Amino acid sequence: MQETKDFKSSFNLYLRLLGYLKPYRSRVILVLICMVLSGVTTAFVMYQLKPIMDATFTNSSDPLATFHHLVLFTIPLTIIAALIRSVSGYGFDYLNRYLSQKVVQHLRSDLYNHFLKLPMSFFNAQRIGGLASRITNDVQVLQDSIMNIVGQGTQSLITVITIASVLFYMDWQLAFVALVVFPIALFPIYRFGRKIRHASGEGQQILSNLNAHIHETLASIRVVKAFGMENHEKEKFRITHSTFFGVKMRENRAYAASSPIVEWIATFAFMCLIVWMAYRALLIKNLTVGSFVSFIGLVFSLYPKLKDFNGLWGGLQSALAATERCFYILDTVDPMVDAKNAITVGPLKKDLEFKNVSFEYVHGHQILKNVSFSLKKGEVVALVGPSGGGKSTLADMIPRFYQPNSGQIFWDEHELSTIKLASLRSHIGIVTQETILFHDTIMNNIAYGRPGASFKDIQQAAKAAYADEFIKNTPQGYNTIIGERGVKLSGGQRQRVAIARAILKNPPLLILDEATSALDNQSEEWVQKALEELMGHRTTLVIAHRLSTIRKANRILVVDKGRIVEEGRHAGLLKKRGLYAKLYKMQFKTHSETPAE
């Protein structure tokens, strides 16, 4: 029962993979033609041994005519057939590589595009290095095996069918003895294939963990070094790596064991065939030397195919395990797609309104509880409160990084889920605490979000963000590559580049997560000025850590344990002597303008 299920699932996966060949119908037809030609000519060339041997060794009444026929007809025909075999072999090999490369290219793009559309909640639950491994390693396994499977597998099958037909045509009894080995050999091939598939899937999973580990260690290399955790990481890596080795060896054992078994079965069958042929040649005397040699030649071309099938079946199982992992992502995680009749909206006209919004990352653990407030056009609203209270979560609901579990959010009169995501996000600018910069030039980092912006606009934005001067002082100015995540810049510089990026995008609504880490006085002043420039008269929701920002805000919302517990302006809230007053005393008063949380 389990085996039938396995076989059915393999078959369905295989069919789905072949579906990627649809756009290349004409090439598929061409590759099939090449395969058939190559199979038929291989059998034909072998078959030609019979007339050649018979003509050479059988007594003929007219040796000269026989010789002429051999030289002028049989040999040239064989040479032409061999030429066709070579040309079709080339066509097949080339097209086969082309098609498998294309299948893999499509699958890789599908996966990558799918990743880009997935909701944030998906990424929270995954290790990024592990995901990248699906696009690289899993797809690579697929690429390595698929070429053999789709191409060589089918070609071998066609060769087997043509050779078998010729054998039956020559002598059905001998053909029967020669072919009976195939169903017998299929059994171990199939059994070992299952082992290979399971081990291969497991191996790919461990490899993706290994990748995630490498990714995480390298991304946090400063912390690893600073805390002297090199040995700890080395040990963690070694353990996962040796598990990987064990699983890989399980797969390799299955590969290695199946081949000798199949070979032995083939040798046994071959010996039976020889006994039968010898009996026919010596005792019954109804087998010519030509038939004998040609038959043996054909069987010699046939039996290696058994070994091929064995290798290919194993390869297919590895490929299917990898395919399964890729399709799993494509199938089980829904991308964030726009509703069918989603609309395009303009910049905010009146207000953004939260109505009784509740949200939980993990079922049963509510983070936002019945939050209601509105952010009016042109207003600066500051969110303050203890760490972990839900401020960032609340801000993340606006660009729809997350969906409320209950309640609604309105962009003017439109509920957010009725708006096209791209349209909604085009009106929102986000500057986060961790300024995310890419390994690219400063210019491209600023222009991220507005590709094609002119250099003049980019420079203007940099000037407004008080970044122009330091940028000019970098080795290649705006063309300086700033290293992965901007490591070649100081904290304050990174922030100003990120602010310049937001200024260039010029979003009507700004979400600002002020950095908590204190900068030196000079940098702080520049960043502060840049932020003021950015906020201007923009509608802004700011997760505020600076007293200066809080004072300037039109309204302050105090968020604690997922609720808005106080609302008002600085002076009013202080008078209330509630949570805000407490926070102020604890944080801002002692730390003056740049308190850390």
Binding site for ligand ADP (CB under 6 A): 124, 361-362, 367, 385, 387-393
Q: Rounded to a whole number, what is the largest CA-CA distance in the chain?
A: 127
Q: Which residue's CB is nearer to ligand ADP, number 131 or number 199?
A: 131
Q: Which residue's CB is nearer to ligand ADP, number 121 or number 374?
A: 121
What is the number of alpha carbons within 13 Å of residue 52 lying toward its C-beta? 18
Q: Which residue's CB is nearer to ligand ADP, number 124 or number 165?
A: 124
* DSSP code for 401: S
Q: Output the smallest distance, CB 422 to ligand ADP, in A.
A: 23
Cβ pair 525, 490 in contact under 8 A: no
Q: Which residue's CB is nearer to ligand ADP, number 278 or number 362?
A: 362
For residues 590 and 594, give the distance between their C-alpha atoms in angstroms, rounded to a whole number. Answer: 10
For residues 495 and 437, give the distance between their C-alpha atoms in angstroms, rounded to a whole number. Answer: 9
Q: Which residue's CB is nearer to ligand ADP, number 100 or number 393?
A: 393
For residues 201 and 324, give the distance between their C-alpha atoms in angstroms, rounded to a whole number. Answer: 8
Q: Output the smallest distance, CB 367 to ligand ADP, in A.
A: 4
Q: Which residue's CB is nearer to ligand ADP, number 401 or number 438?
A: 401
SS (H, E, C) 492-523: HHHHHHHHHHHHHHCCCEEEEECCCCCCCHHH
Q: Which residue's CB is nearer to ligand ADP, number 108 or number 545?
A: 545
For residues 35 and 23, give the distance between their C-alpha atoms in angstroms, rounded to a whole number. Answer: 20
Q: Output the smallest distance, CB 121 to ligand ADP, in A.
A: 7
Q: Which residue's CB is nearer to ligand ADP, number 505 or number 546?
A: 546
Q: Output the smallest distance, CB 238 to ligand ADP, in A.
A: 30
Q: Which residue has the tokens 């990743």?
A: 115
Q: Output the smallest distance, CB 211 to ligand ADP, in A.
A: 22
Cβ pair 91, 31 in contact under 8 A: yes
Roughly what angle, to the nearest 10 degrees, separates helices 289-332 and 181-219? 40
Q: Output the smallest distance, CB 388 to ligand ADP, in A.
A: 4
Cβ pair 303, 266 in contact under 8 A: yes
Within 8 A by CB and 6+ apart from 471, the residues are 442, 462, 477, 478, 480, 497
For residues 132 and 112, give the distance between their C-alpha atoms in angstroms, rounded to a whole number. Answer: 9
Q: Output the smallest distance, CB 115 to ligand ADP, in A.
A: 17
Burial of residue 178 (number of CB atoms within 10 Å: 0-12, 13-18, 19+): buried
Q: Output the smallest distance, CB 557 to ligand ADP, in A.
A: 11
Q: Which residue's CB is nearer to ligand ADP, number 79 or number 362?
A: 362
Q: Which residue's CB is nearer to ligand ADP, number 313 or number 402?
A: 402
For residues 110 and 326, give the distance between their C-alpha atoms in angstroms, rounded to a whole number. Answer: 10
CA torsion through residues 562, 567, 569, 570, sign: negative
Q: Which residue's CB is nearer to ligand ADP, number 424 or number 558?
A: 558
Kindly give the pairing relationship between strand 509-513 and strand 539-543. parallel
Q: Output the smallest distance, CB 498 to ligand ADP, in A.
A: 18
Q: Output the smallest distance, CB 324 to ligand ADP, in A.
A: 28
Burial of 349-362, coded b for 16+ CB within 10 Å and e otherwise, reads eebbbbeebebbee
Q: Output the smallest distance, CB 398 to ligand ADP, in A.
A: 13
Cβ neighbours around 365 below 10 Å, total: 7
- Residue 297, by phi and psi: left (phi above 0), alpha (psi -120 to 50) or beta? alpha
